[in-house]
Chain A
């Protein structure tokens, strides 16, 4: 456990020792605000909830989370520090978890900094804060899943641009797994069971149900499983590719 904490601390600190963290947080806050007020018609709807705010999170994450995850392992491989890290007395799992949790916490910090909008909505009316809490939780879980995917893909290449683009594509497909764009492709070649299974993988479906305030165990398990599976793949990929 101490190995995880040590790696976690180093990673999180490293975000803030470069401008990356500040650029990311500022862009995230500006975009989430702009989307909420201009595209989401926050005022015009006349409802005291944060639905327009959370609705855009999947699309924000689609581009911002890969920007965080792309450097996770690609940079370690490129600079050679992966050799240093993995020859220190930490296990592969401690390294994978420590790095992932640090990136997740970093996105969490950005998410927490959106609190003015929560204050605003409470000032303007009396929203269901339970739903808002559930939405934050769902948003965080979804970010974690995006991030785990990005971490795994980042481990497969030493080129950050490639890691970014591939992550965006994979996340986009998973996001829309429940929609015709993706499902039609499967319908043509696969039996209905497979199509249903693919539809069940959709980020959007699971996120929407949590952000309605229904914290279903199945949705929680879905996101946690997603994170677990991709992190496992992450460790396997590192093991396979570290010689290269």
Chain B
């Protein structure tokens, strides 16, 4: 294993751009990712997530700008960059007529794994992804979940320092999603990982940092909790009460409450704080003082989906731009 300096930048893009004729797919994206980080790529479909990943993986050539993977320029030293990298393309394509075992042997050949290390890596990968049962089955005959696991196995077989996973949990059932996320978490401490997704819960489950992309540009680059803090719901208090009217009255008396909304469907009341204020204690005191019986009371951490919508639809796009 090569020496890894702690603060070595494993992935760096500089004004990375991709144009197809008049269409700008990726428009001057710059970011750095360090070991130990799991970067979530968020964005609506067609935002440029996959294109960016394809360029990093060396499949597409950038129109302008550049990038390095593991310190190697993707255009001048593509093979070195590809050796450092494990890449799961969107949809986890693999050669369907091969058995899982043949396929992994092929990947081991291409990756130049030999001798003891080859056996160890194959064993370890097969065990990690629970592929023992299907080793001798043609990949075509496997379920979607298993196909995805084979794709992941291919990506991590050579124990790469950098992992780029394009929608690794897309189309999996909740148990399989959980498994994949656990796997990503387990690998995250010594690797640099980029995961693209449009599932916001995934950002919480695996990412230490999130970049929101839309129309080929970076609109936000922050930790998941920082993103949540941008939500209108951040620090808001929501509750359900027997008597909605009385609860609303009690809430209106709290000084720091800026607005009160009632969900017309389930009657859930949400009180929004004035900017920068915390209202949880004041709200619960006020409710108690007024003798309003509350079935449930919760402090909202902020809603990622709301931030995502706001950012990508341009409502708070301007100030969120970093």
Chain A residues within CB distance 8 Å of chain B: 2-3, 6-7, 9-10, 13-14, 17-18, 79-81, 83-84, 86-91, 242-243
Contacting pair A89 B111 (CB below 8 A): yes
| CB within 8 Å for A80 and B82 given contacts A2-B112, A14-B98, A243-B20 | no
- Count chain B residues whose beta carbon lies closer than 8 angstroms to a beta carbon of A: 30
Contacting pair A6 B91 (CB below 8 A): no
Q: Which of B87, B93, B94 has the most CB of A within 10 A?
A: B93
Contacting pair B110 A83 (CB below 8 A): no
Contacting pair B89 A87 (CB below 8 A): yes
| CB within 8 Å for A84 and B102 given contacts A89-B83, A242-B60 | no
A-chain residues with CB within 8 Å of residue B93 when the two chains form the complex: 79-81, 83-84
Q: Report how far A177 CA is from B112 CA in the complex, Å.
A: 45
Q: Report how far A81 CA is from B90 CA in the complex, Å.
A: 10
Q: Report how far A87 CA is from B58 CA in the complex, Å.
A: 6
B-chain residues with CB within 8 Å of residue A91 when the two chains form the complex: 78-79
Q: Report how far A111 CA is from B36 CA in the complex, Å.
A: 55
Known: A10-B109, A87-B89. 11 other contacts (CB 8 A): A6-B110, A13-B102, A79-B96, A81-B95, A83-B54, A87-B59, A87-B87, A88-B82, A89-B82, A90-B110, A91-B79
What 1/0 mask marks residues of chain B from 28 to 48 whose CB sits below 8 Å from any chain A CB?
000000000000000000000
Contacting pair A89 B79 (CB below 8 A): yes
Report, nearest first, the 5 A-B pairs whose CB atoms are least far apart: A80-B93, A83-B89, A87-B57, A89-B82, A6-B109
Residue of B nearest to A15 (CB): B97
Q: Contact check: which of A3, A18, A84, A86 meets B97 at CB < 8 Å? A: A18
Q: Contact check: which of A9, A84, A89, A243 meets B60 at CB < 8 Å? A: A243
Residues 87 to 120 of chain B near chain A (Cβ within 8 Å): 87, 89-91, 93-98, 102, 106-107, 109-112
20 A-B pairs in the complex with CB atoms less than 8 angstroms apart:
A3-B110, A10-B98, A10-B106, A17-B102, A79-B95, A80-B90, A80-B91, A81-B95, A83-B57, A87-B59, A87-B82, A87-B87, A87-B89, A88-B107, A89-B79, A89-B112, A90-B110, A91-B78, A242-B59, A243-B60
B-chain residues with CB within 8 Å of residue A10 when the two chains form the complex: 95, 98, 106, 109
Contacting pair B59 A83 (CB below 8 A): yes
B238 close to A (CB within 8 Å): no
B154 close to A (CB within 8 Å): yes
> A187: shortest Cβ distance to chain B, in Å?
40
A-chain residues with CB within 8 Å of residue B111 when the two chains form the complex: 88-89
Q: Report how far A14 CA is from B57 CA in the complex, Å.
A: 26
| CB within 8 Å for A9 and B109 given contacts A14-B98, A89-B82 | yes
Q: Contact check: which of B90, B94, B97 meets A17 at CB < 8 Å? A: B97
Contacting pair A89 B110 (CB below 8 A): yes
B-chain residues with CB within 8 Å of residue A80 when the two chains form the complex: 89-91, 93
B-chain residues with CB within 8 Å of residue A83 when the two chains form the complex: 54, 57, 59, 89, 93
B-chain residues with CB within 8 Å of residue A79 when the two chains form the complex: 93, 95-96
A-chain residues with CB within 8 Å of residue B109 when the two chains form the complex: 6, 9-10
B-chain residues with CB within 8 Å of residue A17 when the two chains form the complex: 97-98, 102, 138
Q: Report how far A8 CA is from B109 CA in the complex, Å.
A: 12
B-chain residues with CB within 8 Å of residue A14 when the two chains form the complex: 95, 97-98
A-chain residues with CB within 8 Å of residue B96 when the two chains form the complex: 79
